[in-house]
Amino acid sequence: MTTSHKCISCEKEETVVPLVSLTFSKIPAWICTQCLPTLIHNPAQLESKFRDMDIENPPKPELN
């Protein structure tokens, strides 16, 4: 089963918008090109999204 990545901000899937990968606390995340300026210019607006990431139980990497 293939999982579709979603933007950490708006939750749009990679089938709808281009996503850029990033890592926070060794946990992979994705952000769409529409929300990327928010991360760059106003990161405090996304602080809660990163705080909600489960650092203790990160997702397992997909094996190809």
* pLDDT reported for residue 14: 95
Identify which of 29, 30, 1, 28 has the alpha carbon closest to the alpha carbon of residue 17.
Answer: 30
Question: Structure tokens of 24?
Answer: 């926070």
Q: For residue 21, what are the β-bridge partners? A: 30
At 11-60, the pLDDT tens digits run 999 999 999 999 887 888 999 999 999 988 888 888 888 776 654 555 56
* pLDDT reported for residue 52: 64
